[in-house]
Structure 1
Amino acid sequence: MASKMETSDFDEEFLTCAICMLNFRDPKILPCLHSFCRECLQDWAAKQQPLECPTCREPVRLPDQGVDGLRTNFYVNNLLDFAAAKKGAEPGVPCQVCEGNAEGSKSWCVDCAILMCDLCTLHHRKFPYSKDHEVVAEETLKVEKDAGKFHRKRHCPKHKNQELVFCCENCNALVCTACTVVDHRPGKHHNPVEIATVAQRRKAELQGLLQSIDPRLKEIQDAVKDVDIKISKLVPSKEEATDLAKAYFRKLVDFLQKREEDILSQIDEQCRADGKALLAKKEAIEFELAGLTSAQTFCQQAVEHGSDVHVLEVGNQVQTRVETLLTKRLDLESDWSEFQFVENTTVVDVEKEVDNFGGVKTNVDVSKCKVAVKPAVLRFQCVAELTTLSKEGRQSVTNNKAVKADMKDPSGKDLPTQVQMKSRGLWEISYTPEVTGIHKLEVKVNSQHVAGSPFDVDVKGNPVLTIGQEGSGVGELSWPAGVAVDKDGNIAVLERGNKRVQVFNVNTGQSLRSFPVEGEKPLGIAVDSEGRFLVTSWGENYGLRRYSKEGKLLNTFKPDCLRGPHGVTVLKDGRMVAADYKQQSCLLLQPDGSLIREIGKGQLRVPRYVRVDESRDVLFVTDKVAHKVFAFDLDGNLKFDFGRQGDNDGELQMPKGVTSDPAGNIIVGSAGDSLVQVFAPDGTFKQKLGPVKGGYSGGVTLTPDGYIAVACFRGHCVELYRYM
């Protein structure tokens, strides 16, 4: 049995908006289950695009009504009401109606969430609109501890005086008694059940979820403790690593200084030795010079000043001395060339090796690291993903400087790259190629090449991949009409010519399997949440058929309302929408094929393909003859339409396939102009692609990697396009 919840069970933070840091005012719940004041969210949404949750940063797509379309956190409102009521029971609090009687007894109207004095309470009980309201007396307020009893009553937005007491299970809508008579009358299409009954089932489901949460919480809490332990070791590890690094590089510096001293000493010693040898050589040469100079002087004096007798007396002696000196073999060469310092290991070589002088050792094992090269398209920002793994194969963090990526285009020119860690152990390497052809991507971790580096990156233009060619064999296609993505992320192609579904690998285009389908003219294909295929066919033996993942026929739907089915889509809860050109409408069907309602009757002329964006509660349908795309909600109300016949941007020629992306953009393929166009969520033109092969685009879908897959009906292939 669930325990009673008291305000004392929650601290003030539980009732406080994380934006304004005040108690909630009209709290609204985001899809991530975080709540904020309505006004705070409106201000936040006006300042931030795309919108993210202020607390967890989860991307948020607001309903068409904006913040007002989000659900109200009535539970927090009830707690605030309970806290206000308890405070109102204290002395000195005035009546919230007459703003007086601060000292008198008070009562609390649960329905209106106001505090009233005795006189206002008396009048409140007499007014027809409030005579049935639940009023809690002061005595009860003082002793009451169960906040669960303070639930404001919810009233029908259509019948303001009626309380919401039923849930229409077919429409998943809360309704009042009046609604069950008018819009949700019990029958084939509506099944109103008392809220308490449905809520009890939902509580049982949530209780089951709660039981599965505890073990997961324990696992996460243990992980947090483990992280805390590692955080406590982080600074000591840093200090130890820092000390070791400093000691290592000090040793390197010491080695270099010692080597410098040795080299300088060698230079000094060499200089001294060479100087001594040169001085000795100089003395020997000068000695010979002195002898020859002396003989020269004596000989000159004899010739110039000697008498005949003197010349005859010393002539022979002089001649002998001079001839002896002239014929003497002398070593006049110094045998010395200038000594120099030689870089046995050049500075450039050392610079190249510096990255190997130490490193930061983590648990990243470079041999286990992997690089996934995504398809690259000319002039689009392209990415490759590096996953850094430990020896155990788990994703592991390393520092930014440990990861390096370099890319060269086919001519060898460097192409700028950026490396950014996206999450723990996952890195994104981004670049924008300017030419097509094979590029080389070199990826290193801790100065070591990742296995497979450098990688070949084949940069292509649009389309990035073409699947199939005309024929009936494996991997061949004949008049492909519809495309869808199966549960494994592969592309399923519906072939009108071969009357089969063929599944292809989305990355390589390789045929994986195929199975035949019934019906004369198969056209539309969709995949439900269980991986089953839904296929429409028109003409003879028309119908909507459900096939297993393996291709076994499970069901054939031919309700009276279905006459000429074309496009089909399926919701997460199993409901289906089929475009019927004979009925000139879209049929919202139960999982068993029974009709819930017709959508677009009287507005559509020749509906072709459909797509439901459940996050925005909008159904898109193309109209071949109107040359438009219509947008309805699932209640059948027209929200907007866009397009007209023409060849300009945003104009359409016989629109066919339609889909939408996570950002709400609408993608439309046209048969008349063979183009694919991208529109903003409001239908304004953004981008044009194509023309597709064969000049006739059929069904379109979005691949898991965000490429547009187009069925080229006359080109007998499927083309994948990069966009945005």
Structure 2
Amino acid sequence: MASKMQGSADFDERFLTCPEHEDQALTFYCEPCQTLVCVACTVVDHPRGDRHNPVEIGAVAERKKWDLQGLLENIQPRGREVEAALCDVKMEISELPTSANAAIAQATAYFDQLMALLRDRKEEVVEEIGSRCREVGKCLETQKEAIEFELAGLTSAFEFCKQAWEHGSDVHVIEVEGQARQRVEELLTAPTDLTARPSQVVFSEGTAVAEFRDDVARAGRVDVKVKVDASKCSVEIKPAVVGISNICLLDTNGQISSELKDDVTVTLNDPSGQAVPTKLEEKGKGLWEISYKPRVKGSHRLEVKVNGRSVAGSPYDIRVQRFHTPVLTIGREGCGEGELDDPTDVAVDMDGNIAVLEAGNKRVQIFDAKTGQSLRCFSVDGYHHFGIDIDSNGQFVVTSRVPFFGGDTQGIRVYSPDGKLTKTLKPDCLRDPRGVAVLQDGRMVVADWRQESCLLLQPDGSLIREIGKGQLQNPWFIAVDESRDLFFVTDYEADKVFVFDLEGKLKFKFGKRRENEGELQCPTGITVDPAGNIIVVNLTNRRVQVFGPNGTYLRTVAKVRRGNPEGIALTPDGNIAVACMNGHCVDLYKY
């Protein structure tokens, strides 16, 4: 029976009768034996019992039809894939001579150019040899004439002196000696230059023939190009904002390298159908960055094709928002999972997730930075929680202020990555901690509101030095740039950012209280980007502003929509996360 599967099914009538009882029709199916049988067989060879179970073929056939239908459903998708692949192969076979001819044309043009360069160089060298030969010949002719002239003078003087010496009388010798002396002295005083002149023109090989042979062997390369499978590519769409550079990520599953860049086409249109310029840049391992700067808000259409075929999900809709609109809002008011109550500060953990410190719920809640989904949370001790940072071991460092009703619950608490309390620090020098920043070696810089200064502490909480005493009025949040051994602290009351080195020396400060761009009004959250730029948020006018490493104003990123923005952090995706205390959420703005 198996051989019949190779061709069309054979429904010959002889298969409807029992091979053992030719006058009997096959009306039963013995399931244990998986054999069609007749009525006689159910009595003689396949009686119902432990070993046999003949059943009417109608019910079995119906069940088998369902099985066949399932097989059809399994075959059809694969069949379509195979048919599409066959069409691709046929097309590639038909296109192979064209690509080969194009490659031959390119190779011919390439080597013709190389040979033309060699011919041109040969003509230049031969012409230069002739020119140099003429120059040397002219120089030698000039020297020859000068030598011949001097030799003639010397010969004439020699013969004159010789004749006078051999044949002249005493009177004649006396008369001509002075004349001869003057002539000889003139000849010997200005002799002709007899030093060697360039006398040959030679050719030197700039590149040895053997070396050139190796270069020629490397000139041009023949590769077999494999078509990229568009179905294995994907695009990660990221939130976009008007007027600034935005990106999407094309993952080619390692298929596309720099040589195959031209196989990718990217088209982006704004809501009116106008094209938006895009740029494709390789990020390594088949990952490509599609960057663009939209001019208007609204739904944009992004189409990505590889070898003329759309990648999975293309075309995509990209929602471009206004400049001050968050690309993502995390949380809403409440105490449940994914809900927030009075978030005061944010930090980014070792996995790039956003850790939010909730003063109202007395907990730290971890969110996915891309989706805003709540991942986990853990409770924190104390009251009036203010600042959070994460050390090099992934531990959460949390500060708690003095409660309004008194008590000594203020301090610094350290929690393991899974939320277990590992230590509580309450050094005598600590009065009312606010923002905290942890250095790579475990030391901490803590803003102390009551002491109007910052405290540099050892990992065990012992004081190293007090910084900013007499200069700070109301220090709030802190950011550290260890590459420059600096830390930055916002002064809520002075409307300034103070910059100190870790030795305690004030390096510079910037800011003044006004409404204009680049000015500060009750600055709170602060962070530093990889380039050393300083990002600050104001509580009063809610602006998120960027200043250069020296405090020069650069730009305004956004104006926070909700009241009381406090702690901020920069996410790996290039967004600024802002803890909106009274808004009971965290807003992410495109940086």
Deviations, residues 614-650 of structure 1 (Å, cap 9, x unaligned): 1111110111111111000000000000112221222
Deviations, residues 365-387 of structure 1 (Å, cap 9, x unaligned): 33322222222111222222223
Shift in Å at residue 671 of structure 1? Answer: 1.5
Residue of structure 2 aligned with 1:468, choices 331, 334, 350: 331
Deviations, residues 383-437 of structure 1 (Å, cap 9, x unaligned): 22223235xxx77554232110112223433333232334453322222222323
Deviations, residues 181-205 of structure 1 (Å, cap 9, x unaligned): xxxxxxxxxxxxxxxxxxxxxxxxx
Report what 2:443 is aligned to. Answer: 575
Report what 2:311 is aligned to. Answer: 450
- Aligned mates of 1:655, 1:248 — CA distance in 2: 64
Where 2:542 maps in the other structure, the secondary structure is coil
- Aligned mates of 2:256, 2:482 — CA distance in 1: 34
Question: Which structure's CA Rg is the greater one?
Answer: 2
Residue of structure 2 aligned with 1:674, choices 531, 535, 542: 542
Task: Count matched residues.
Answer: 373
Residue of structure 1 aligned with 2:478, choices 575, 589, 610: 610
Amino acid aligned to 1:466: T
Report what 2:199 is aligned to. Answer: none
Matches within 5 A, 1:29-44: none
Residue 628 (structure 1) aligned with residue 496 (structure 2):
yes
Amino acid aligned to 1:449: S
Q: Are the aligned partners of 2:240 and 2:590 in contact in 1 as well (CA < 8 Å)?
A: no
Shift in Å at residue 464 of structure 1? Answer: 1.4
Residue of structure 1 aligned with 2:348, choices 485, 489, 492: 485
Distance change in 2, residues 1:525/1:249 (3 Å): closer
Shift in Å at residue 583 of structure 1? Answer: 1.8
Report what 2:158 is aligned to. Answer: none
Residue of structure 1 aligned with 2:276, choices 415, 421, 429: 415
User: So what's the TM-score if we normalise by structure 2?
Assistant: 0.60
Distance change in 2, residues 1:424/1:547 (3 Å): closer
Deviations, residues 149-168 of structure 1 (Å, cap 9, x unaligned): xxxxxxxxxxxxxxxxxxxx
Distance change in 2, residues 1:627/1:454 (3 Å): same
- Aligned mates of 1:486, 1:564 — CA distance in 2: 25
Distance change in 2, residues 1:398/1:385 (3 Å): farther
Report what 1:231 is aligned to. Answer: none
- Aligned mates of 1:631, 1:415 — CA distance in 2: 41
Residue of structure 2 aligned with 1:389, choices 226, 242, 253: 253
Amino acid aligned to 2:546: V
- Aligned mates of 1:630, 1:659 — CA distance in 2: 13
Report what 2:294 is aligned to. Answer: 433
Q: Are the aligned partners of 2:227 and 2:307 in contact in 1 as well (CA < 8 Å)?
A: no
Residue 585 (structure 1) aligned with residue 585 (structure 2):
no
Distance change in 2, residues 1:691/1:381 (3 Å): closer
- Aligned mates of 2:247, 2:572 — CA distance in 1: 15
User: So what's the TM-score if we normalise by structure 1?
Assistant: 0.49
Amino acid aligned to 2:382: G
Residue of structure 1 aligned with 2:382, choices 491, 506, 519: 519
Report what 1:714 is aligned to. Answer: 582
Gaps of 5+ in 1: 1-240, 251-358
Shift in Å at residue 243 of structure 1? Answer: 7.9
Deviations, residues 462-495 of structure 1 (Å, cap 9, x unaligned): 3211111222222111111101111111111111
Q: Are the aligned partners of 2:228 and 2:307 in contact in 1 as well (CA < 8 Å)?
A: no
Where 1:694 maps in the other structure, the secondary structure is coil
Where 1:400 maps in the other structure, the secondary structure is helix
- Aligned mates of 2:224, 2:275 — CA distance in 1: 28
Residue of structure 1 aligned with 2:412, choices 544, 547, 560: 544
Report what 2:202 is aligned to. Answer: none
Q: Are the aligned partners of 1:397 and 1:424 in contact in 2 as well (CA < 8 Å)?
A: no
Shift in Å at residue 688 of structure 1? Answer: 2.2
Where 1:695 maps in the other structure, the secondary structure is coil
Report what 2:553 is aligned to. Answer: 685
Matches within 5 A, 1:141-160: none
Amino acid aligned to 1:401: D
Shift in Å at residue 602 of structure 1? Answer: 1.8
Deviations, residues 72-94 of structure 1 (Å, cap 9, x unaligned): xxxxxxxxxxxxxxxxxxxxxxx
Distance change in 2, residues 1:565/1:248 (3 Å): closer
Matches within 5 A, 1:221-620: 245-247=99-101, 361-362=225-226, 364-390=228-254, 396-423=257-284, 425-461=286-322, 462-540=325-403, 541-620=409-488
Report what 1:162 is aligned to. Answer: none
- Aligned mates of 1:717, 1:477 — CA distance in 2: 6
Aligned CA-pair RMSD: 2.4
Q: Are the aligned partners of 1:362 and 1:398 in contact in 2 as well (CA < 8 Å)?
A: no
Q: Are the aligned partners of 1:611 and 1:658 in contact in 2 as well (CA < 8 Å)?
A: yes
- Aligned mates of 1:248, 1:714 — CA distance in 2: 66
Amino acid aligned to 2:278: T
Deviations, residues 497-519 of structure 1 (Å, cap 9, x unaligned): 11111111111111111111111
Gaps of 5+ in 2: 1-94, 105-222, 404-408
Q: Are the aligned partners of 1:653 and 1:673 in contact in 2 as well (CA < 8 Å)?
A: yes
Q: Are the aligned partners of 1:629 and 1:641 in contact in 2 as well (CA < 8 Å)?
A: yes
Matches within 5 A, 1:47-66: none
Shift in Å at residue 244 of structure 1? Answer: 6.9
Deviations, residues 230-284 of structure 1 (Å, cap 9, x unaligned): xxxxxxxxxxx9987244899xxxxxxxxxxxxxxxxxxxxxxxxxxxxxxxxxx
Where 2:546 maps in the other structure, the secondary structure is strand
Where 1:457 maps in the other structure, the secondary structure is strand
- Aligned mates of 2:383, 2:473 — CA distance in 1: 23
Shift in Å at residue 612 of structure 1? Answer: 0.7
Shift in Å at residue 570 of structure 1? Answer: 0.5
Deviations, residues 134-159 of structure 1 (Å, cap 9, x unaligned): xxxxxxxxxxxxxxxxxxxxxxxxxx
Shift in Å at residue 659 of structure 1? Answer: 0.7
Q: Are the aligned partners of 1:364 and 1:396 in contact in 2 as well (CA < 8 Å)?
A: no
Shift in Å at residue 713 of structure 1? Answer: 1.5
Shift in Å at residue 588 of structure 1? Answer: 1.0
